Amino acid sequence: MHVKEQVLKILEEQKGNRISGTALARQLNVSRNAVWKAVKGLQDAGYAISAVTNKGYCLQPENDILSVQSIAKYLHPERRNLHLEVHKTIDSTNNKAKEYAARGMAEGTVVIAEEQTAGRGRMGRSFYSPPESGVYISVLLRPGCKAQEALYITTAMAVAAAQAIEEVSGYPAEIKWVNDVFCHGKKVCGILTEASVNVENEMLEYAVAGIGINVRTPKQRFPSALEQVAGSVFPEGEDVNGEARSRIAAGVLNHFWQYYEHLAEHTFMEEYRRRSFLLGKRVQTVSQPPVTGVAVEINDSGHLVIKREDGMLITLNSGEVSVRPV
């Protein structure tokens, strides 16, 4: 770890408190000049670090830059073995994670970004990923399960996201089958799971679970095409804790890994159903020809069961539905 990263780690741990350059130099066994250069580099990168002569350095509580250090300090001790990397800008965290998978990197590699220039959602849609407002995460997995069980990865991630959002913000988080999380009646989170399958045995060679969360409203707001459906965890104008994005990112990883380690037990399905806002509502599939009916169940396989007006039950294992007026 470079001096700059070591200094940032200590400042994150002491966030809001001052620590002298002498103490930092002694703790890291480097010169005070090396500490000064590290702090200057962090300030140039946008970190809100105040420096007062004879009092030392302080990372301001309102600092809102995502970093390995800002996220790692909120991970549970048993999750500290995850390999995190944080990018200021990237085309797609899923693309980078898939690249790492092809290179044989280990499960637990996590790619996080402040901004995506080519973020993707399901069905080939783009995922709006502006800077300073959201957090975008992709997790490399090697689950050793059948391809059809990849749906459980998505459902587990949806539950983990909803729980993390609720814990940090205090706002209720609901799930729209199969992979969207809603707050305040709008979509604040999308999930895209991609995988490589061995065609001979139909086993997953790897999976990449990607998630994007709109934590606060972007400064430039959402594009007009998204304004009616997209929202943020924290309403526009609300004073948001500077560490909210880091805490949500860590919360997602903490909860998801707890479920993932016991994926075959489907311990998350009860919570997934409880948070679903589709059940009991009249819905219509996006597919052609569309199917309209009442969403009556999410079964143990994570499939949505729709009861048509003629009484026939239709089971969907993938796809998308919209809520229809009665």
CATH number assigned to the domain comprising residue 26:
1.10.10.10
Expressed in angstroms, the distance from the first to the final Cα of the chain is 59
Could you please report the per-residue DSSP string of 94-114?
A: HHHHHHHHHTTPPTTEEEEES
Full residue range of the structural domain in which residue 239 is found = 68-275
In this structure, the answer to whether residues 130 and 188 fall within a common structural domain is yes
In this structure, the answer to whether residues 73 and 138 fall within a common structural domain is yes
In this structure, the answer to whether residues 246 and 303 fall within a common structural domain is no
- What pTM was estimated for this model as a whole? 0.90
In this structure, the answer to whether residues 86 and 48 fall within a common structural domain is no
According to the model, what pLDDT value does residue 289 have? 86
Instruction: Print the SS3 string covering 150-185.
Output: HHHHHHHHHHHHHHHHHHHHCCCCEEECCCEEEECC
Looking at 59, 76, 106, the residue that finishes a domain is 59
Question: Could you give the CA distance from residue 293 to residue 313 in angstroms, rounded to a whole number?
Answer: 9
In this structure, the answer to whether residues 112 and 22 fall within a common structural domain is no
CB 167 within 8 A of CB 251: yes
According to the model, what pLDDT value does residue 1 have? 65
Residue 294 has pLDDT above 90, yes or no: yes
In this structure, the answer to whether residues 194 and 84 fall within a common structural domain is yes
Q: How confident is the model at residue 225 (pLDDT cuts 50, 70, 90)?
A: confident
In this structure, the answer to whether residues 155 and 45 fall within a common structural domain is no
Question: Could you give the CA distance from residue 162 to residue 86 in angstroms, rounded to a whole number?
Answer: 22
In this structure, the answer to whether residues 50 and 104 fall within a common structural domain is no
According to the model, what pLDDT value does residue 224 have? 85
Long-range contacts of 232-240 (CB under 8 A, 24+ apart): 232/133, 232/183, 232/188, 233/165, 233/168, 233/169, 233/171, 233/183, 233/188, 234/169, 234/171, 235/184, 240/215, 240/216
In this structure, the answer to whether residues 151 and 227 fall within a common structural domain is yes
**DSSP letter (8 states) at residue 126:** B
Residue 163 has pLDDT above 80, yes or no: yes
Nearest to 212 by CA among 118, 146, 299: 118
Say which CATH number the domain at 201 has.
Answer: 3.30.930.10
Q: How confident is the model at residue 325 (pLDDT cuts 50, 70, 90)?
A: low
Mean pLDDT to the nearest integer, 227-232: 90
In this structure, the answer to whether residues 105 and 203 fall within a common structural domain is yes
Question: Could you give the CA distance from residue 146 to residue 125 in angstroms, rounded to a whole number?
Answer: 26
Q: Report in angstroms the alpha-carbon separations of 94 from 100, 104, 163, 299.
A: 10, 15, 22, 28
Question: Could you give the CA distance from residue 130 to residue 151 in angstroms, rounded to a whole number?
Answer: 28
In this structure, the answer to whether residues 159 and 236 fall within a common structural domain is yes
pLDDT tens per residue, range 4-35: 999 999 998 888 899 999 999 999 999 999 99
Say which CATH number the domain at 298 has.
Answer: 2.30.30.100
What residues contact 224, with CB distance under 8 A and at least 6 apart?
Answer: none
In this structure, the answer to whether residues 81 and 226 fall within a common structural domain is yes
Mean pLDDT to the nearest integer, 116-145: 88
Look up residue 293 and give its two tokens. Answer: 């009916």
According to the model, what pLDDT value does residue 236 have? 83
Question: Could you give the CA distance from residue 22 to residue 7 in angstroms, rounded to a whole number?
Answer: 12
Q: Report in angstroms the alpha-carbon separations of 98 from 91, 101, 130, 160.
A: 13, 5, 22, 22
Mean pLDDT to the nearest integer, 57-74: 90
Total number of domains constituting the chain: 3
Nearest to 206 by CA among 317, 83, 92, 102: 102
